[in-house]
Structure 1
Amino acid sequence: MKPAMLPPLRQDLGLHPGPTADDGTPTWTLHDPAAHRFYELSWPAFELLSRWPLGSADAVLQAVERETTLRLGPEDLQALLQFLASHHLLLAHSVEHSARLAHAAAAGRSSHTMWLLKHYLFFRVPLLRPEPLLAWLARHTGWLYRPAFWWAVGGAALLGLFLASRRWDEFTHTFAAYGSWSGLLAIGVALSVAKVLHEFGHAVTAYRYGCRVPTMGVAFLVLWPVLYTDTNEAWKLTRRGQRLRIAAAGMLAELALAAVATLAWSFLPDGPLRSGVFLLATSSWLVTLGVNASPFMRFDGYFLLADALNTPNLHERSFALGRWWLRERLWGLGDPVPELLPPARQRLLVAFAFATWLYRLVLFFGIALLVYHLFFKALGLVMMAVELGWFIVLPVWRELRVWWARRAELHWNRSTRRSAALAGALLLVLLLPWRGGVQAPAVLSHGEQQALYAAETARQRGAAVAEGSRVAAGQLLMRLQSPELEQRLEAAALQEALLRWQVEQQPLDSRLQQEGQALHQRWQAAREEVAGLRRQREQLAVRAPFAGTVVTAHPMLADGTWFTRGEKLFQIVGDGDTLKVEAFVGESDYARLRREGPQRAGARFVADLPEFGSVRCTALQLESVNLRSLPQPYLASVYGGPINSVRDGAELRPLGATYRARLTQCEARPLARELPGRVRLEGAARSLAGEGWDWLLALWRREGGL
């Protein structure tokens, strides 16, 4: 309905020229100082507002038609009026208007629970009113904005990265040395220094272009502190390039710091100063490029992209287009597009919306897991539920509510038929038991094989058998000699001989008689020590445990070569062609294999070596105790293997519960060495939904301590 008289505007509103729109038309920026918000006005909206004092709708429309080339109707004026009213930009001119404002204020007041929830997720603490400091800095930092300075920074960055690449091992090992609590504290201090410089980069640049910077402080995002600078007045600037420089100033400041620190690391001597510049270099590079440059959160990268595309409120506008696109593809509702854009720009924003949703899904899920593990279980579970509910479940629930509210508008069309077909196919994939058996990483080896190791640190004496030689059971493969062991044996033998003489002389010597039975016990202990050392010396004669073939031999076998204790010397396999497979299964697969038991018909091993093919086995034996460490290093993820693991001293520990499954009665095949691969253990087919439910139950038992 066309209003007869227009309500007055608030007198404190500010209007500033804005940048030129993509179609060449001028724009203006409306500033609401009470809410500290900025609104971009199109050319028609500006022409209507500039004639608002005429009072009546007819007078405003006629003046626009008479004085401009625009042809606007009552619906344009009504849309502008609704915008002004919804954002509280009109003066309260009636009782009804005052009542609406009071209702909006009441709706904005939240309960104590909601207040606590919102302030747990995000709140700000202003710490500094930086205008006087910025005025002083502006007089002394003009040289930072000269091209020569940034050419020098670029050169320093290239030279520093080149020098660091020449000592890359030292650089990466230095970073790994900061894994302790003291190292993490040092990284936190370095990040704090870099982030302070980052925020002052924004503030000084905004002040340089005439923007007011009212506050600087710290914001807490899920209780994680993040520095912030209020540069909202950058929207007053008419030049898009100036806004881009303000948005990029923080990252450029950090990158300049990283460039100088990286270069300094290559020249400074070892010490606290070198460690400090290393931390500044690494933290600045990683955080600036990995976090601040991302456009998927409201960090610097987002504002840079919004200004580069000349699309204020990029997230909100792209999300609106993404929801519209999703509803049209799923249900074909026929809704008008939220805003008219060129097809290429529309596709870009829709793709950006889906990429942002996916990024946030992964990010918020990771934050929820981090919060859960940082606190004790009860509090961690509550905080994780809040994270998942607020950031993931609530947005999805709101969209589902819209679909349900508009269910009466649904009818069979091309989109709904496609959606029904896709939903049916997804249900079939989830519910039908089409996944049979279990796949697991495995190793194929001979049924009879053994590795032989050096029993002591010793050197080789004489020749050794060569790789590929056939040997008999008990045959000498090589002889080792340990001078240290020989010295200990000689000393022990002399001590044993002395004690034996004393035992023989005890009946004749009163002093020895006083020692009594203790002398016999010391002699017995000395005899056992000598016997033990002789057995150790016999172990230095490396012999074949059974008849077979030496498939691998140490490459440094030669007379006089030293070997350390535990060093592998030979790998011997038996004469038979029997093979065995050792598979390594996770907790859920282990429970399933135990439950199915005799239903399994067998297993098939497929080697990573394509030309070897596959081997079928029929007998399976499960170990009931999970592995403490991986016996084959090449299966560990730290060496590129398929089992997630970490290094713990000399051992490789699996990150999850891992059980060994032994497969025997395998097909006879010639095998030269152990082969890694994957095994498929056959069994009853299961659905993806069933496997997911088993996984959730196992997770619940593990985390609940059941």
Structure 2
Amino acid sequence: MANDTKIFHESWYRIANEKLCLRSSVKVHRQLFRGARWYVLSDPFNNQFYRLRPEAYEFVIRLGLDRTVEEVWMEMISAAPESAPGQEEVINLLVQLYQSNLLHYEMPPDSAKLFDRYKNKKQRIMKSNLLNIMFFRIPLFDPDSFLKNILPLIRLIMNPLGAILWLTVVGSAIKIVIDRFAEVSVQTQGIINPSNLFLLYIAMLLVKTFHEFGHAFAVRRFGGEVHIIGVMFLLFSPVPYMDATAAWAFRNKWQRILVGAAGMITEIFVAALAVFVWANTSGGLLHSLAYNMMFVASLSTVVFNINPLLRYDGYYMLSDWLDIPNLHTKATQQLTHLVEKYAFGYKRSTSQAYSLKEAFWLAIFGVLSGIYKLIVFASIIFFIADRFLLAGIIMALICCITWIIVPLVKLIKYLSSSPKLERIRLRAITVVSILLLFVVGFFYYFPFPNSFRASGVLKASEYFVVNSKVSGYVKKIEIEPGSQVSAGQPLIILENKEIDLQINEAMASLQESYAMRQLALAERPEDLATVEARIQAIQTRLDRLQHDREELVVKAEISGVWVVGNVADYLGMWIRRGAPIGQIINESAYYFASVIPEVHTSRIFDNEVKRASVKLVGQADTEVPVFRYVKIPMEQTILPSAALGWKAGGDVPIDPNDAQGVHSTEPFYEVRAYLDNNNGMKMFHGRTGKIRFELTSEPLLRQWWRSFRQLVQKRYHY
């Protein structure tokens, strides 16, 4: 597919009579990519690399200052007409070798016009750095002599014994983390506290320094050279970086992959050592620094380094594994090729892929990497804005300029002046205009389903929590759980001998008081009032004690189903006064108490709900329609059930200091939905689930804009 180029080219006359050759400093490395032989040209003085197919390499090595490009090309045509490169491919090849500064040439001004667009490479690199300000790089020094001096130590570390040591240390650290996972999780909550930010940055600086030297050691271990170590401003924070492009020249792709992985391998080893320090210290600066190093190493490895969709270690490892150098660039070029050839009708557009399968995966990679990059950068911007709002706004503006304004300007310039579109410019402009109009119309005018989900709990319309009105031991369970009971029917019998003793004592005191009253009537009338008061107090106490003895028989207050836990656990258990024992549930009607977050209150209160339905946990395949719902226009913070909170596995954040787990950290509104259970599905009081509200259809752009405004208002109170 990549060889589908023109044999003749209208600009050939400009280059045909020129004499060119490779620079004397260029080295050639033969490599195998997917079983095919390729050649990599490298110049150690400018650290530039370029990969050639065998046919192109045959052409390049024939170049010399004693023969013209035309002569070399004709020689190739005569020797191998089937595989010889066409004039268009030769021009593109020479241009790209010039861009990589690998050619020695003496050209008149007319020939140099072919290379005009490449003359400002340094300016473009600086411009790219300015646009990509969140990852700005500054080279500092050449570490190659230092690495050469410690090469024996590097070889001692990077060998099978070193791998065994690495596995032992990392495995032991993982076991410590698993054993103390609860402690590790709790400490994560304070990782972004202002008091910890300085330590977090120091940890990141240390971890990234080891990371970059891991790459440098691996390059040197396999015979490469490292000439650049510098500082990259990662989100305006300086961290080290190194240039490992020398690994391009390695013949063995697994060596190149190991170079890509060396930073993460070193980082994980450092994190493992930090685990040992953290586990064997308690509090203090060293303990906190070790934990921050653990956190930075794990987060950066998962989110950035190992992920191939960003241009970090995982990307280069995937590129080497697939034998597709410059994977991101080729994916972008492949997407451009698809647009130019099939949308604009530019038949001379050539694919960067060498098979249909590769073309497919290049296109998929290009799309996915763009989406993932957008998600990661948006998350970073919100993370920064949460701490430094002004910095977050500035970064958002820079990203808008970089990802919206600049590409739009480039698109306009491309459509208006690209030589490729000279004969098809009207079609290209028409296609782009129609596409833009379609996208705007599709997202701004076309109505889309508008719905949201909320957590909730199923409740019986009538239920009663059975509490113990007196303290006592459970003597007998009168009714088995799950049985239908009637109001007034005994459920549980308690036993409290202390009440019987107090009743006997009160009755004895009452008899004594009656005798004292008889004595007062006969001999001491002045004491009669006091004795009567004593009798009244004792009688009141006796009545209360007798009532408590009656309450030892726990009875049903309403009719319904008796629901209680494992009765075997209750027998002989001490039940304190007021403790809940079970519930009586009237199964005639249920409602679903849903918790509506503040971000959705305007949608539920200001819009018409077209339809609502509920899916319960354990019965997710059955949708229960709602025939009526009641909005309760009152802000609440007490959940209708602890099962909805984080502590019980729900998705509503709760106050960590609340032992009961029902106090939410954010206000919510309750909507009670009454269910139409025509399918006879079994209802269970207290079962959680999700309710789905379908609102009036609305264009996606309006929905997204509202969600964005709500997010900004919630996070920044603006």
TM-score, normalised with respect to structure 1: 0.72
CA distance in 2, matches of 1:403, 1:656: 51
Once the two structures are TM-superposed, the CA of residue 296 in structure 1 deviates from its matched residue by 1.9
Once the two structures are TM-superposed, the CA of residue 29 in structure 1 deviates from its matched residue by 0.8
Once the two structures are TM-superposed, the CA of residue 680 in structure 1 deviates from its matched residue by 5.2
CA distance in 1, matches of 2:686, 2:181: 36
Q: Specify whether residues 325 and 436 from structure 1 end up closer, same or farther in structure 2 by C-alpha distance, changes over 3 A only.
A: closer
SS of structure 1 residue aligned to 2:307: coil
Q: Specify whether residues 41 and 437 from structure 1 end up closer, same or farther in structure 2 by C-alpha distance, changes over 3 A only.
A: closer
Residue of 138, 148, 162 corresponding to 1:149: 162
CA distance in 1, matches of 2:233, 2:403: 16
Q: Which residue of 1 is the match for residue 507 of structure 2?
A: none
CA distance in 2, matches of 1:275, 1:703: 28
The answer (yes or no) to whether the contact 2:384–2:391 under 8 Å persists in 1 is no
CA distance in 2, matches of 1:438, 1:539: 53
CA distance in 1, matches of 2:675, 2:266: 67
Q: Specify whether residues 685 and 128 from structure 1 end up closer, same or farther in structure 2 by C-alpha distance, changes over 3 A only.
A: closer
The residue type paired with residue 17 of structure 1 is H
Q: Which residue of 1 is the match for residue 189 of structure 2?
A: 179
CA distance in 2, matches of 1:248, 1:671: 54
The answer to whether the aligner puts 1:621 opposite 2:634 as a matched pair is no
SS of structure 2 residue aligned to 1:120: coil
The answer to whether the aligner puts 1:584 opposite 2:599 as a matched pair is no
The answer to whether the aligner puts 1:232 opposite 2:245 as a matched pair is yes
Per-residue Cα deviation, 1:570-623 (whole angstroms, up to 9, x for no partner): 32335x8343332223446432332357xx688555544549967666554322
Residue of 263, 285, 303 corresponding to 2:316: 303
Residue of 460, 475, 484 corresponding to 1:446: 460
Per-residue Cα deviation, 1:361-390 (whole angstroms, up to 9, x for no partner): 2212222222322312x5423322323442
Once the two structures are TM-superposed, the CA of residue 306 in structure 1 deviates from its matched residue by 2.4
The answer (yes or no) to whether the contact 2:611–2:693 under 8 Å persists in 1 is yes
Once the two structures are TM-superposed, the CA of residue 280 in structure 1 deviates from its matched residue by 6.0
CA distance in 2, matches of 1:248, 1:611: 43
The answer to whether the aligner puts 1:313 opposite 2:326 as a matched pair is yes
SS of structure 2 residue aligned to 1:173: helix
The answer to whether the aligner puts 1:633 opposite 2:646 as a matched pair is no
Q: Which residue of 1 is the match for residue 262 of structure 2?
A: 249
The residue type paired with residue 631 of structure 1 is P
Q: Specify whether residues 330 and 569 from structure 1 end up closer, same or farther in structure 2 by C-alpha distance, changes over 3 A only.
A: farther
Once the two structures are TM-superposed, the CA of residue 301 in structure 1 deviates from its matched residue by 2.0
Per-residue Cα deviation, 1:140-173 (whole angstroms, up to 9, x for no partner): 3422233243245445655665x55xx8353343
CA distance in 2, matches of 1:308, 1:42: 19
The residue type paired with residue 212 of structure 1 is E
The residue type paired with residue 456 of structure 2 is A
CA distance in 1, matches of 2:611, 2:367: 44
Deviates more, 1:79-88 or 1:353-362: 79-88
Once the two structures are TM-superposed, the CA of residue 660 in structure 1 deviates from its matched residue by 0.4
CA distance in 2, matches of 1:196, 1:390: 29
The residue type paired with residue 634 of structure 2 is V
Residue of 201, 215, 220 corresponding to 2:214: 201
The answer to whether the aligner puts 1:573 opposite 2:582 as a matched pair is no
SS of structure 2 residue aligned to 1:648: coil
The answer (yes or no) to whether the contact 1:481–1:540 under 8 Å persists in 2 is no
Residue of 606, 625, 645 corresponding to 2:653: 645
| Identical-residue share of aligned pairs (%) | 18
Once the two structures are TM-superposed, the CA of residue 228 in structure 1 deviates from its matched residue by 1.3
Q: Which residue of 1 is the match for residue 45 of structure 2?
A: 33
Q: Specify whether residues 446 and 238 from structure 1 end up closer, same or farther in structure 2 by C-alpha distance, changes over 3 A only.
A: closer
Q: Specify whether residues 23 and 585 from structure 1 end up closer, same or farther in structure 2 by C-alpha distance, changes over 3 A only.
A: same
Q: Specify whether residues 471 and 246 from structure 1 end up closer, same or farther in structure 2 by C-alpha distance, changes over 3 A only.
A: same
The answer (yes or no) to whether the contact 1:583–1:679 under 8 Å persists in 2 is yes
CA distance in 2, matches of 1:51, 1:259: 54
CA distance in 2, matches of 1:340, 1:115: 26
Residue of 364, 376, 388 corresponding to 1:375: 388
Q: Specify whether residues 422 and 225 from structure 1 end up closer, same or farther in structure 2 by C-alpha distance, changes over 3 A only.
A: closer
Q: Which residue of 2 is the match for residue 495 of structure 1?
A: none
CA distance in 2, matches of 1:176, 1:310: 43
Q: Which residue of 2 is the match for residue 496 of structure 1?
A: none
Per-residue Cα deviation, 1:104-143 (whole angstroms, up to 9, x for no partner): 777965999x799537322234455434432342233422
Q: Which residue of 2 is the match for residue 57 of structure 1?
A: 69
The residue type paired with residue 635 of structure 2 is N
SS of structure 2 residue aligned to 1:547: coil
Q: Which residue of 1 is the match for residue 362 of structure 2?
A: 349
Per-residue Cα deviation, 1:469-499 (whole angstroms, up to 9, x for no partner): 736479897779999xxxxxxxxxxxxxxxx
Q: Which residue of 2 is the match for residue 384 of structure 1?
A: 396
Once the two structures are TM-superposed, the CA of residue 47 in structure 1 deviates from its matched residue by 3.8
The answer (yes or no) to whether the contact 1:48–1:77 under 8 Å persists in 2 is no
Residue of 548, 556, 563 corresponding to 1:552: 563
CA distance in 2, matches of 1:188, 1:592: 41
Deviates more, 1:398-407 or 1:694-703: 398-407
SS of structure 2 residue aligned to 1:320: helix
Q: How does 1:486-497 map to 2 (within 5 A)?
A: none
SS of structure 2 residue aligned to 1:52: coil
The residue type paired with residue 315 of structure 2 is Y
Q: How many residues align?
A: 644
Residue of 137, 140, 143 corresponding to 1:124: 137
Residue of 213, 216, 224 corresponding to 2:229: 216
The residue type paired with residue 369 of structure 1 is F
CA distance in 2, matches of 1:173, 1:237: 45
Q: How does 1:420-435 map to 2 (within 5 A)?
A: 431=445, 435=449
The residue type paired with residue 595 of structure 2 is F
Q: Any stretches of 5+ residues in structure 2 without a counterpart?
A: 1-11, 499-536
The residue type paired with residue 443 of structure 1 is V
CA distance in 2, matches of 1:200, 1:141: 11
SS of structure 1 residue aligned to 2:232: strand
Q: Specify whether residues 313 and 461 from structure 1 end up closer, same or farther in structure 2 by C-alpha distance, changes over 3 A only.
A: closer
Q: Specify whether residues 32 and 146 from structure 1 end up closer, same or farther in structure 2 by C-alpha distance, changes over 3 A only.
A: closer
Q: Which residue of 2 is the match for residue 662 of structure 1?
A: 672
Per-residue Cα deviation, 1:30-57 (whole angstroms, up to 9, x for no partner): 42735x4322344435643553211533
Q: Any stretches of 5+ residues in structure 1 without a counterpart?
A: 484-526
The residue type paired with residue 634 of structure 1 is A
Per-residue Cα deviation, 1:308-332 (whole angstroms, up to 9, x for no partner): 3333212101221133235556666
SS of structure 2 residue aligned to 1:626: strand
Per-residue Cα deviation, 1:420-478 (whole angstroms, up to 9, x for no partner): 9999899679856574776543333222224356799x764766765447364798977
Q: Which residue of 1 is the match for residue 524 of structure 2?
A: none
Residue of 669, 673, 684 corresponding to 2:685: 673
Once the two structures are TM-superposed, the CA of residue 358 in structure 1 deviates from its matched residue by 2.6
Once the two structures are TM-superposed, the CA of residue 268 in structure 1 deviates from its matched residue by 6.2
Deviates more, 1:101-110 or 1:548-557: 101-110
Once the two structures are TM-superposed, the CA of residue 209 in structure 1 deviates from its matched residue by 3.5
SS of structure 2 residue aligned to 1:27: strand
Q: Specify whether residues 561 and 400 from structure 1 end up closer, same or farther in structure 2 by C-alpha distance, changes over 3 A only.
A: farther
CA distance in 2, matches of 1:612, 1:110: 56
SS of structure 2 residue aligned to 1:29: strand
